[in-house]
Amino acid sequence: MDQFKVKPGVKVKLSKYDPNDTGDFKAGKQAGLTRLEELNHKLEPLQELLFAEHKHKVLVILQAMDAGGKDGAIRRVFDGVNPSGVRAVGFKSPSIEELEHDFLWRVHKQVPGKGEMVIFNRSHYEDVLVVRVHNLVAAELWQKRFDQINDFEQMLAGSGTTILKFYLHIDADEQRQRLQARLDDPTKRWKFRLGDLDDRKHWHEYMQAYEEVLSRTSTDYAPWYVVPANRKWFRDLVISSVLVDTLAGLNMKYPEPPENLNGIVIE
């Protein structure tokens, strides 16, 4: 899935990325769902191994426009993993206490420990997205945050954290359909908020903000992937493929028991 990875230093134009793209995977939805199931079965033992070895840390960051599929991706991609070693963290509007500190304070508290995998549903990138589009802080402040974010992620990577960042790329028409479906379904209406419509009015500004995020913060130690996300099954396939390949590349091993267990027979 390297075709969706943003190379460091490349200036991203999201208009050049097709949200309906399926890359080199031409076999269709049913084959994609079958492949996704296979990846789920591979992810489960890899995550168990991550937890048992207690050496590596994995941080998965999901960013998207409203209705972009962050919740759905978490449900589908991480279906079956051991909840003892996996956490999903959602970042909403900062609390009064959080606003009393630097913008990374609340984020740093949630990063993974050894053997743990943490999924950020939104993240510290809100502080160069929402605050920019809605003019919540001065431009001179949020502009400085790009370098601060890169330094923060470099520090995490240097301490053994593998960072994978996914921007779930949908188009405005797909968002409209998903928001309307959410509004029409009594079981999903609770997820709808009027603020979604206000953000939708700023679609162009958000696209510009995301382009700068992707261009300035995709690094070798914390790469961004622009995931075509109009097709939910392909969105999940990309994330699962990258995650499984990355975990397999850590060359993890189960630890030896602390005591010699040879010859022990349970009666």
CATH (domain of 181)? 3.40.50.300
Distances (CA, A) of 130 to 33, 153, 200, 207, 245: 34, 20, 12, 11, 32
**pLDDT on residue 218:** 98
Domain count of the chain? 1
In a domain, 166, yes or no: yes
Mean pLDDT calculated for residue range 217-243 = 98
**pLDDT on residue 260:** 79
Mean pLDDT calculated for residue range 218-246 = 98
Domain region containing 48: 2-248
Confidence check: pLDDT of 194 > 90: no
In a domain, 253, yes or no: no
Q: How would you class 148 by CB atoms within 10 Å of its CB: exposed for 0-12, middle for 13-18, buried for 19 or more?
A: middle
**pLDDT on residue 266:** 87
Distances (CA, A) of 262 to 50, 52, 253, 256: 25, 20, 19, 12
In angstroms, rounded to a whole number, what is the distance separating the alpha carbons of residues 61 and 70? Answer: 10
Within its chain, how far is the Cα of 139 from the centroid? 26
Mean pLDDT calculated for residue range 8-36 = 95
Confidence check: pLDDT of 261 > 80: no
Q: Which residue has the higher pLDDT, 65 or 260?
A: 65
Confidence check: pLDDT of 227 > 80: yes
**pLDDT on residue 8:** 97
**pLDDT on residue 161:** 98
Mean pLDDT calculated for residue range 165-180 = 97
Q: What is the mean pLDDT of the chain?
A: 95
**pLDDT on residue 258:** 79
Confidence check: pLDDT of 10 > 90: yes
pLDDT digits (tens, 9 = 90+) for 20-32: 999 999 889 999 9
In a domain, 266, yes or no: no
Mean pLDDT calculated for residue range 136-156 = 97
**pLDDT on residue 267:** 84
In a domain, 177, yes or no: yes
Contact between 126 and 91 (Cβ < 8 Å): yes
In a domain, 105, yes or no: yes
Confidence check: pLDDT of 242 > 80: yes
In a domain, 254, yes or no: no
- Confidence bin at 40 (pLDDT 50/70/90): very high
Beta bridge partners of 168: 64, 227
Q: Which residue has the higher pLDDT, 111 or 196?
A: 111
How long, in residues, is the chain? 267
In a domain, 262, yes or no: no
In a domain, 267, yes or no: no
